[in-house]
Structure 1
Amino acid sequence: MSTNVYGIDLGTCNLKIFCKATGKVINEKNTIAIVNKNQLYAFGDAAYAMYEKAPDTIKVSFPIVNGVIADYNNMQTMIGEVLDKHVKNHTKGAEYIIAVPTAITKVEEKAFFDMFYKSRFKPKNVQLCKRPIADAVGLDLDVLSPTGYMIVNIGADTTEISVISLGGLVLSELLHFGGKRIDESIISYLKRNFSLAIGQKTAMYLKETLGCALPEEEERTAKIVGRDLVSGLPIEMEISSKVIYEAIKDNLNSICNSIKIILEKTPPELAKDIIHSGIYITGGSSKISKLDELFTQITNIKVNSCEYPEESAVRGLNKIVSDDKIKKLAYSMETRNFR
């Protein structure tokens, strides 16, 4: 097997690539800036720095929307630039394994496959793997055993709630709801209650700095700058963690209700396993403080979190291609029907 193997997780907000040769995870913002309609201006973190700041002549966009590829050409350009930047001449003839969401159509799934299969890298092999399976492997769970595990991946645009056993998906639901919706709730709440207009980046900063899934005894604050809707002028305001809790609590309760619905549909023997092993939460938006405690309160099941939740899927992909026992969890679309 080639030593050049890349596990790739195309997230709405972040592009994660695990390089087997170096053992490192490349993590760049999944953002691209285009000028003159088709000319690349910037990509990754540099393009994200321009988001909400660029003039009309520069279009800053996210190629992945709701977990699927919305801008195929720019996504392919973005991947090529990121790989050239970080690994240079080690991409041709390599193997690629890509995490794909559940509950997507065959056409959407084929777009993930063709992104690499028809790329300039001329890959030796391209395989796909369902993201909940990759998450479970990345969390060091024995996915091939007859044991039920519940994985909740809370991303930027989507939340995937899955029950897996024997290397397959028993139940899975893909919600078009994630961290961006929570950011929008913060924007709406501040506009409605404080007549303050803020951008997506500031909302994300408040979520990451002050966001908490349960009321806190000690209130924390952060200073932000927004636009006063009454005067129309910029204004600096101090926002408390209590305000952010009120803004996001309904969104978090919606995720809790969806988890309860999946648990109600889970076969009794698998439900018994989940009670013993607990619920595993991953994805960048799972880092909201005390989210595990909220889920435990609602479900009466312990919740397990990990150190790098946004990277669990991409680390799992690397293990899948490296371990012969679980390599069968990946699959290819390289058939006559898809050429």
Structure 2
Amino acid sequence: MSFKALGIDFGTSSIKIYKNGEGIILNEKSVIAIYRKSHVFAVGDEAFEMYEKAPENLEVSYPIKNGVIADIGNMQALIDYFFAELNGKKRFKGAECFVAVPTDITEVEKRAYFDLIANTTLKTKKIHIVEKPIADALGMNLDIRKSIGTLVVDIGANTAEISVLSLGGIVLSRLIPVGGNRFDEAIIAKIRKDKNFVIGERSAEQLKKNIASAYETDESMEICGRNLVTGLPSEITVTSKDIHEALSELFQNIVDSIKIILERTPPEISSDIYKSGLYLTGGSSRIKDLGQFIFDELGLKVNVFEEPENTVILGLGAVIENPELAKLAL
């Protein structure tokens, strides 16, 4: 390709940017730190290190929640900062932008992503919208242009998007507020209730990554926090059973939502899905045995991608690099 093109995945947890001919050039946390409500203090991974540790005059937040832009001002500041850092010698000037957005959100919410890029200093030539389920499928090397039904389940940081695709379009889609951050919140609540012990979101994330499983195991982990009885810093042992009890209802919510989509799927597409199974992706799909749990509940083969957190940005890259896939962008 001779023209300049960028693919941007505005994830709740992280932001990723793809440039044609170069691949993924940015992968940082979608976090911003604002000093005294007006000055950008830090962004990305640097700001994430300050999360839950900042003083009162430093606000650290995620501008995207539940798949939509919750704070447009902070999100604009975040993307402007990244573009300024990356745009050496104005190598992005006049580039076309391909932005991934969830399907099951309002047109106004989708328009916010478009306006976000239009208001940057890049002076973009064109802005294209690519629906995330389509990007997911392309990122997993699936040819969704054929008349074959495909079921994609993307479990992200704040949401899970369940979509049925065929002939290059979306037949059905459902976005539910269940994802990695909800898992963390459930872990925090469980430990507080059962052990009178308080941990932060980052500690909960470590528990989730290390010992969370869709089935009970004999694993355990030491974690630091505050004892509610004494009020003092302390350390406790958390078991896989504790984490499983905290998350089992959320796992079931995901399965129930997949069932709802399958009940509404046309029978010919259902036949295709039965043969090929469902495709599980998203960073939170890495939880141990989650694919096995879905298989046991639904009886469908579960295909898991090696880099589930990168399927959207790789799918945008496929649209950018392959002219035949460009028509899948809006």
Which bin holds the TM-score, normalised by the shorter protein?
over 0.9
CA contact 1:4–1:21 (8 Å) conserved in 2:
no
1:239 to partner: Cα distance: 1.3
- Tell me which amino acid in the other structure corresponds to 2:325: I
- The equivalent residue for 1:309 is 308
State percent identity of aligned pairs: 44
Tell me which residue corresponds to 2:293: 294
Deviation at 1:87, TM superposition (A): 4.8
Deviation at 1:2, TM superposition (A): 4.5
Pairwise CA distance, 1:3 = 4.2
| 1:91-110 pair list within 5 angstroms | 91-110=92-111
Please give the residue correspondences for 1:145-184 in structure 2 after superposition, counting only pairs within 5 Å: 145-184=146-185
Contact (CA 8 Å) 1:138, 1:314: kept in 2 or not?
A: yes
What's the CA shift for 1:4? Answer: 2.7
Q: Which residue of 2 aligns with 1:337?
A: none
Shift of 1:25: 4.6
Q: Distance in 2 between matches of 1:91 and 1:112?
A: 18
Contact 2:30 2:62 in 1 (8 A): yes
Aligned equivalents of 1:29, 1:167: Cα separation in 2: 31
1:25 and 1:284, CA in 2 relative to 1: closer, same or farther beyond 3 A? Answer: farther
**Inter-partner Cα distance in structure 1 for 2:95 and 2:323:** 18
CA distance in 2, matches of 1:90, 1:84: 11
Q: Secondary structure at the match of 2:203?
A: helix
- The answer as to whether partners of 2:63 and 2:74 remain within 8 angstroms in 1 is yes
The aligned counterpart of 2:45 is: 45
Change (3 A) 1:25 1:262: farther
The reply to whether residue 250 of structure 1 matches residue 249 of structure 2 is yes
8 Å contact from structure 1 (residues 34, 42) kept in 2: yes
Q: Secondary structure at the match of 2:154?
A: strand
Shift of 1:244: 1.0
Q: What SS class does the counterpart of residue 40 from structure 1 fall into?
A: strand
State the distance in 2 between where 1:259 and 1:310 align. 20
Q: Which runs of 5+ in 1 are unaligned?
A: 332-339
Report the counterpart of residue 68 of structure 2 in structure 1.
68
Contact 1:210 1:221 in 2 (8 A): yes
The question of whether the paired residues in 2 share the 8 Å contact of 1:12 and 1:64 is answered with yes
| Alignment-derived partner of residue 19 in structure 1 | 19
Partner of 1:123, secondary structure, is: coil
**Cα displacement (A) at 1:82:** 1.9
- Give the Cα separation in 1 of the matches to 2:300 and 2:269: 13
SS at match of 1:109: helix
CA-CA distance at 1:153 after TM superposition: 0.6
CA contact (8 A) 2:16 2:24 kept: no
Cα offsets for 1:198-233 (capped at 9, x unmatched): 1111111100111111122xx112111011111111
Counterpart code for 1:271? S
* Partner SS for 2:260: helix
Structure 1 moving runs of 4+ over 3 Å: none
- The residue number in structure 2 matching 1:80 is 80
- Determine the C-alpha separation between the residues in 2 that align with 1:251 and 1:212: 12
Cα distance in 1, alignment partners of residues 311 and 112 from structure 2? 23
Aligned to 1:31: 31
Q: Which residue of 1 aligns with 2:59?
A: 59
User: Quick one: distance in 1 between partners of 2:84 and 2:310?
Assistant: 21
Counterpart CA distance in 2 for 1:244 and 1:262 is 28
SS at match of 1:325: helix
Amino acid at match of 2:231: G
What is the CA distance between 1:118 and its match in structure 2?
A: 2.5
C-alpha distance in 1 between matches for 2:41 and 2:299: 50
Q: Secondary structure at the match of 1:81?
A: helix
Using the TM superposition, name which of 313-322 and 19-28 deviates more.
Answer: 19-28
